[in-house]
């Protein structure tokens, strides 16, 4: 891990409680995902599903100040890039065409270009192996676009119920990419019934929705920007999982799960980078 220089930032919480965020930044490499080496948009995984962790019981309303430290772990995932464009419209057009073939088809703004991403892998060598097979077996050209989330340590101060809600949200968002990778792989390998996959997705969607609701209840309209951004990520991912639950057929379902995984990775990488500024 490379340690960054210490930075601090304060976010006031008004009316509903006192609070601020102080942060230190470091960079760490590593992530949890493994690819299937068969030239398709798949992922190797353990044999059992990773269920969503139940949302903690909200703490009662309290006015006493508390402090807590939470670390958003750093990670690097290696996404397959299908193309880069100046316009979002061109990127979305290509992304849509590949979603119909089972790829994630997520358009991300990275390094001054709209990049169309298909799937994400734990190591560069894993991603490169899939690229070689896609070229050989499907005549699909792809590159590698790393998704890097810096490690951010937050020193939090506010009501205990606020801190619990925020840390629960961070924890769920940190675990979600691996959990979606597991679901995607089980679906692709046909090692789980569709109903089992859908049941796990429902659990994930309900968890994200409940966590978003708790943040809104605890912080209200005066939430600091960092909390509002976390609420938006939770809401958007919850909507994406809703769309996955409505997908027709295994190919569309698999593509939507991969899309949600890429969405979570990219949004959380941007979120952590914004905190680090």
Q: What is the pLDDT of residue 195?
A: 93
Q: Supply 128's token pair.
A: 């490169």
Q: What is the pLDDT of residue 61?
A: 53
Max mean pLDDT range (26-30, 31-35, 63-67): 63-67
pLDDT above 70 as % of the chain: 77
Q: Are 169 and 230 in contact (CB under 8 A)?
A: yes
Q: Record the pTM.
A: 0.80
What's the gap between Cα 200 and its chain centre? Answer: 16
Q: What is the pLDDT of residue 184?
A: 86
**Predicted confidence band at 3 (pLDDT cuts at 50, 70, 90)?**
very low
pLDDT digits (tens, 9 = 90+) for 126-164: 889 889 988 998 899 999 999 999 999 999 999 999 999
Q: Are 170 and 70 in contact (CB under 8 A)?
A: yes
pLDDT at 1 over 60: no
Higher pLDDT, 229 or 66: 229
Higher pLDDT, 185 or 16: 185
Q: What is the pLDDT of residue 84?
A: 94
Q: Are 218 and 161 in contact (CB under 8 A)?
A: yes
Residue 262 CA: distances (Å) to CA of 150, 154, 217, 231, 241: 16, 24, 28, 18, 12
Q: What is the pLDDT averaged over residues 77-87?
A: 94
pLDDT digits (tens, 9 = 90+) for 195-219: 999 999 999 999 999 999 999 999 9
Q: What is the pLDDT of residue 26?
A: 37
């Amino acid at each position: 891990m490379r340690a960054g220089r210490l930075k601090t930032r304060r976010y006031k919480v008004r009316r509903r409680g006192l609070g601020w965020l102080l942060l230190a930044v470091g960079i760490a490499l590593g992530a949890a995902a493994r690819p299937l080496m068969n030239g398709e948009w798949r992922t190797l995984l353990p044999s059992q599903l990773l269920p969503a962790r139940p949302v903690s019981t909200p703490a009662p309303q309290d006015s006493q100040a508390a402090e807590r430290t939470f670390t958003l772990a750093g990670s690097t995932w290696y996404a397959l890039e299908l193309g880069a464009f100046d316009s979002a419209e061109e990127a979305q057009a290509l992304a849509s065409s590949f979603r119909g073939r089972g790829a994630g088809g997520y358009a991300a703004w990275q390094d001054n270009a709209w990049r169309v991403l298909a799937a994400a892998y734990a190591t560069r060598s894993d991603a490169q192996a899939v690229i070689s097979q896609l070229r050989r077996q499907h005549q699909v050209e792809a590159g590698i676009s790393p998704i890097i989330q810096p490690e951010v340590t937050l020193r939090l101060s506010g009501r205990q119920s606020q801190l619990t809600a925020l840390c629960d949200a961070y924890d769920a968002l940190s675990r979600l990419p691996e959990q979606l990778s597991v679901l995607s792989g089980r679906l692709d390998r046909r090692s789980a019934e569709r109903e089992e996959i859908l049941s796990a997705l429902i659990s994930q969607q309900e968890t994200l929705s409940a966590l978003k609701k708790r943040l809104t209840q605890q912080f209200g309209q005066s939430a600091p920007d960092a909390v509002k951004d976390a609420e938006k990520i939770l809401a958007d991912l919850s909507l994406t999982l809703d769309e996955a639950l409505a997908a027709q057929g295994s190919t569309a379902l698999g593509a939507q799960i991969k899309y949600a995984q890429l969405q979570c990775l990219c949004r959380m990488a941007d979120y952590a980078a914004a905190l680090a500024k």
